[in-house]
């Protein structure tokens, strides 16, 4: 801004002050005019009085300024001590505990399904152990549920609201999961909460470990029920758990069930393969060619070189594998499984079997 042509410096203070006042009043007038134009436009366009309500409503919603009451006039703890009747179980529940009670009662909250599953699992374990030898196998095969679980399932279903979409979704989900598991294994187990490995039989353990991560948590002593690729645990841990629970020579890989029928040695092939893969630091699908070739050269040392690529591919898709090198193969794995009950009672020792693998690899 060029000020040379303006002789402001010549002005004394009074004039400057007058100038300032002029400027100020001009600005204020400008603001007033702005408001007038806005209001006039609102009047002419018809929206000026839109935000008004009638006097009665205004009185209804007036701000309340009394002690003990909020500005809407509501009392703070009014409903705290009231009791409500639960529509489900018809009990009288305190108001502040009503919501959590409903959660449990209807089986709809986050924790309620876990608790229910746990209860079912523990009761099923007790039921199934006594009924596995019965001749009710027809019943077991006919229904998707095993006998003991059916009772609990019926009871659980009646608790739930059949109309709620969330309910049906979870029921379907559970049904599907269970029928899959039942096909592989007649024992039912829960998969929402961790499982206590001490209460499970050897077959259960084996089937569990083929589908689940199974790593035993140090805090809860329970097995992880997430998938084989669960990000919380490494393949090393999974392998160690399998070694611990099933013995060093056992194969507890996901395809173990199917592979046992086809060929015993493939399981061990896969084990060495998996341990090789882990040793290389990749638990994902590494180039199966190099892996299988390594496995084949290794196997030639200890047993018949039966290399089947399709099985190796199948194993590559899973994250974990049992420990143990190719000592004895699959047939021995079954015999070693029988002696599992002794092993289970030992304290966890995931480390000792590991060096043996590495020795073989070297």
Partner 1 sequence: KTDQLYGHYCSCLFWLNHRLKELLRAKLTECGWRDQLKAHCKDVIKEKGLEHVTVEDLVVEITPKGRVLVPDSVKKELLQRIRAFLAQHAT
- The pair of structure tokens assigned to 102 is 């409903």
Angle, in degrees to the nearest 10, between helices 309-316 and 264-279:
50
Of 12, 33, 223, 245, which one interacts with partner 1 (CB under 8 A)? Answer: 33
Q: Which is nearer to partner 1, 40 or 169 (CB)?
A: 40
Binding window for partner 1 (CB under 8 A); candidates: 15-23, 82-90, 262-270, 277-285: 15-23
Q: Are 294 and 333 in contact (CB under 8 A)?
A: no
Phi, psi torsion values for 178, nearest 5 degrees:
-70, -40
Binding window for partner 1 (CB under 8 A); candidates: 41-49, 94-102, 118-126, 274-282: 41-49
Q: Which is nearer to partner 1, 49 or 76 (CB)?
A: 49
Return the H-helix or E-strand segment holding 92.
strand 92-94
Q: Which is nearer to partner 1, 41 or 82 (CB)?
A: 41
Binding window for partner 1 (CB under 8 A); candidates: 28-36, 130-138, 334-342, 352-360: 28-36
Of 12, 30, 301, 311, which one interacts with partner 1 (CB under 8 A)? Answer: 30
3-state DSSP percent of the chain in helix, strand and coil, to 5: 55, 5, 40
Binding window for partner 1 (CB under 8 A); candidates: 33-41, 152-160, 309-317, 331-339: 33-41
- The pair of structure tokens assigned to 277 is 């893969």
Q: Does 1 bind partner 1 (CB under 8 A)?
A: yes
CA distance 34 to 241: 78
Q: Does 58 bind partner 1 (CB under 8 A)?
A: no
Q: Are 242 and 211 in contact (CB under 8 A)?
A: no
Dihedral sign, Cα of residue 19, residue 20, residue 23, residue 25: negative
Q: Does 24 bind partner 1 (CB under 8 A)?
A: yes
Q: Does 22 bind partner 1 (CB under 8 A)?
A: yes
Q: Are 150 and 141 in contact (CB under 8 A)?
A: no
Q: Does 53 bind partner 1 (CB under 8 A)?
A: no
CA distance 351 to 355: 8
Q: Which is nearer to partner 1, 3 or 63 (CB)?
A: 3
Q: Which is nearer to partner 1, 43 or 71 (CB)?
A: 43
Residues that bind partner 1 (CB under 8 A): 1-3, 5-6, 8-9, 11, 15-25, 27-37, 39-40, 43, 48-49
């Amino acid at each position: 801004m060029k000020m040379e042509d303006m002789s402001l410096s010549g002005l004394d203070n009074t004039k400057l002050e007058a100038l300032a006042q002029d400027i100020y009043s001009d600005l204020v007038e400008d603001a007033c005019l702005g408001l007038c134009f806005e209001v006039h436009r609102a009047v002419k366009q018809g929206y000026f009085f839109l935000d008004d309500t009638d006097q009665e409503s205004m009185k209804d919603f007036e701000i309340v300024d009394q002690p003990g009451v909020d500005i809407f006039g509501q009392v703070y703890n009014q409903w705290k001590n009231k009791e409500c009747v639960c529509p489900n179980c018809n009990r009288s529940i305190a108001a502040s505990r009503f919501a959590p009670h409903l959660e449990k009662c209807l089986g709809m909250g986050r924790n309620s399904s876990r608790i229910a599953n746990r209860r079912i699992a523990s009761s099923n374990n007790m039921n199934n152990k006594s009924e596995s030898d019965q001749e009710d196998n027809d019943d077991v095969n006919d229904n998707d549920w095993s006998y003991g679980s059916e009772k609990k399932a019926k009871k659980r279903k009646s608790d739930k609201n059949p109309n709620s979409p969330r309910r049906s979704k979870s029921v379907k989900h559970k049904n599907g999961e269970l029928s899959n598991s039942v096909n592989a294994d007649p024992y039912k187990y829960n998969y929402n909460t961790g499982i206590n490995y001490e209460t499970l039989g050897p077959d259960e353990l084996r089937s569990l470990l083929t589908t689940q991560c199974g790593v035993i948590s140090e805090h809860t002593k329970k097995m992880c029920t997430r998938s084989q690729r669960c990000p919380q645990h490494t393949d090393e841990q999974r392998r160690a758990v399998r070694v611990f629970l099933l013995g060093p020579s056992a194969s507890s890989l996901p395809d173990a069930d199917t592979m046992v029928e086809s060929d015993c040695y493939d399981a061990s092939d896969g084990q060495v393969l998996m341990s090789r893969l882990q040793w290389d630091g990749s638990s994902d699908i590494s180039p199966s060619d190099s892996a299988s070739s390594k496995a084949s050269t290794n196997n030639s040392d200890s047993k018949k070189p039966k290399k089947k690529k399709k099985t190796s591919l199948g194993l590559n898709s899973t994250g974990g594998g049992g420990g143990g090198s190719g000592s004895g193969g699959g047939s021995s794995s079954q015999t070693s499984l029988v002696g599992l009950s002794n092993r289970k009672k030992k304290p966890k020792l995931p480390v000792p079997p590991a060096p043996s693998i590495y020795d073989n690899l070297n």
